[in-house]
Amino acid sequence: MTLLDFLPSLQHAATTRIDPTVWPLTARVDDLGRLTVGDVPLTDLADQYGTPSYVLDEKDFRRRIRDYRALVPHAEIVYAGKSLLTPTIASWAAEEQVGIDVCSEGELAAALQGGFDPSRIVLHGNAKPPSLLRQATAARVGRIVIDSPIEIAFLACETPRPQPVLIRVTPDIDIHGHAAVTTGVTDQKFGFALANGQAEQAVVRILKQPQLILAGVHCHLGSQIADPELYGEAICRLIAFMADIRSRHGLTLNELNLGGGHAIAYRSGDPTLHLAELSATITDTLEQACIAERFPKPRIVIEPGRAISGHAGVTLYRVVAVKTQPGGRTFVAVDGGLSDHPRTQLYGAKYTVALANRHPIGATQTVTVAGRHCESGDEIARDVDLPTDTHPGDLLAVACTGAYHHSMASNYNMVVRPPVIGVHHGNATEIIRRETVEDLLARDVAWQKRHRSFDALLHGE
């Protein structure tokens, strides 16, 4: 018998705290009311590694990749590393036999250190410096996505051997009202527009460079897309473009990369992109478009990032203060904020928050979970329900923080960045250690010349 058997009402409380569409696959509530992930109580992680801390469910991360491979079997899966990347995480993706896309020297190094075959690496970026292109070609990455005219010249000069490339095309599909961010329209910084022949002009320039092998076309429509028909529309437009290239230049492109941007749920009831529906849309639309253009079916590539790493992550915070303003909101202030949780302020993103250290018995109230930084907009979540007896020392868990949190973390107010803790089958592993004040000052030339430890400074030594 357990406490839940003696007090059945707690079973309902436990169930409502961990909506499986939001929390990691292994998230549970134990008999003491503690949230657990990967069979590890989050309170134990907070005690051992401190707060804030990023917690990453390895089983969830790997399972999402396997779901893609099972449910979208006719597409090659390339993990979008910008969502979350360390050498360890890269090794998980490599072991699951998917590709990876990177967009900086650091991401390239992490992918290679994680054991990725360079031929399975795709290099992205709208303003790649020559040094990055030089490193990518030296590493022999499988694809470089050309995003601007100057990159054609840079690559033609830098690559010591034939280099396969994709051209990023903007198909002018406006997804406002369907998604959080739109990148597939003409008036933005990415890619070559189909309008006015810009994309074709780029193709002509590439074909004049013998060291560049044009393998196919790439597009990215935006983020948090839940409607698979938008990808179907992109397929129709891009197959027509590829057919035009064959007709005008005698080149049959054999790769169509549809990018990522697949929607996931941050809160209960949020719209998501269903993989079976995406797969059916890709299969049916590709068949129809290729028949209509008499074009051979290209290899389809998709690049999920958030949809693989997002749900795997949970961020832990310790409550520092609780206060209610007269006639206003109740603020639950925690020991982190926009430096480790930037998306609320950047995008107005909304998150699920739960008490992690005990059963939330009794009434709840609507609160704003506020951060520690000197910014009025430093909020982790607004209008979320927490117990009325929430107090300093309580542990809060924020769901769905595996994507674009560690990767976008900053040192605003010179606050150190949290560790990343991997959990799997009851074991916890420190993937990234917590940053220290010494780390923050290590690049300061004056600090290097008269280096003393932070503890020594505090004690006047």
Distance CA 332, CA 140 (A): 50
For 42, the token pair is 């989050």
Question: 405 with 342: CB under 8 angstroms?
Answer: yes
DSSP of 370-436: E-SSS-TT-EEEEEEEEETT--TT-EEEEES-SSSSGGG---GGGPPPPPEEEEETTEEEEEEPPP-
Within 8 A by CB and 6+ apart from 153, the residues are none
Q: Catalytic amino acids? A: 374
Chain centroid to CA 307: 7
Residues 412 and 342 sit within 8 Å (Cβ to Cβ): no
* Residue spans of alpha helices (H) in 140-274: 149-158, 198-207, 229-249
Are the CB atoms for 355 and 388 separated by under 8 Å? no
Which residue, among 317, 418, 313, 412, has the nearest Cα to 370 in the 3D structure? 317
Strand, coil or helix: what is 65? helix
Residue type, 178: H
Instruction: Please answer whether residues 337 and 112 qualify as being in contact, where contact means their C-beta atoms are separated by less than 8 angstroms.
Output: no
Per-residue pLDDT at 188:
54
Q: What is the distance in angstroms between the CA of the first residue and the CA of the last residue of the chain?
A: 57
Find where tokens 């369907």 sit.
178
pLDDT value of residue 447: 79
Query: Residues annotated in the binding site for pyridoxal 5'-phosphate, as ranges?
Result: 261, 303-306, 404
CA 63, 64, 66, 70 dihedral sign is: positive
Q: φ and ψ at 333, to 5 degrees?
A: -95, 135
SS3 250: coil
pLDDT at 189: 60
Listed in sequence order, the residues at least 6 apart from 53 whose beta carbon sits closer than 8 Å to its beta carbon are 45, 46, 315, 316, 418, 419, 420, 421, 434
Q: List, as residue ranges, the binding site for substrate.
A: 306, 343, 347, 375, 404
Helix (H, G, I), strand (E, B) or coil at 26: coil
Please tell me the predicted confidence (pLDDT) of residue 173.
Answer: 85
User: Which CATH number applies to 58-308?
Assistant: 3.20.20.10
- Per-position pLDDT tens, the chain of length 461: 444 554 444 444 544 679 999 999 999 999 999 999 999 999 999 999 999 999 999 999 999 999 999 999 999 999 999 999 999 999 999 999 999 999 999 999 999 999 999 999 999 999 999 999 999 999 999 999 999 999 999 999 889 999 999 999 998 887 665 445 554 445 556 789 888 889 999 999 999 999 999 999 999 999 999 999 999 999 999 999 999 999 999 999 999 999 999 999 999 999 999 999 999 999 999 999 999 999 999 999 999 999 999 999 999 999 999 999 988 899 999 999 999 999 999 989 999 999 999 999 889 999 999 999 999 899 999 999 999 999 999 999 999 999 999 999 999 999 999 999 999 999 999 999 999 999 999 988 887 777 777 677 667 76
Structure tokens at 34: 């503690």
- Return the exposure string of 116-144: e unless at least 16 CB atoms fall within 10 Å of the residue's CB, then b: beeebbbbbbeebeeebbbbbbebebbbb
What residue ranges do the domains of the chain occupy? 3-57+311-440, 58-308
Which residues line the annotated binding site? 261, 303-306, 343, 347, 375, 404
Fold of the 3-57+311-440 domain? Lyase, Ornithine Decarboxylase; Chain A, domain 1 (2.40.37)
This prediction has a pTM of 0.92
Torsion of CA 181, 185, 188, 190, to 10 degrees: 90
Instruction: Say which DSSP state 176 is in.
Output: B
Could you give the angle at which helices 275-293 and 229-249 cross, rounded to 10 degrees? 30
Whether residue 52 is preceded by a cis peptide bond, meaning omega within 30 degrees of 0, is yes
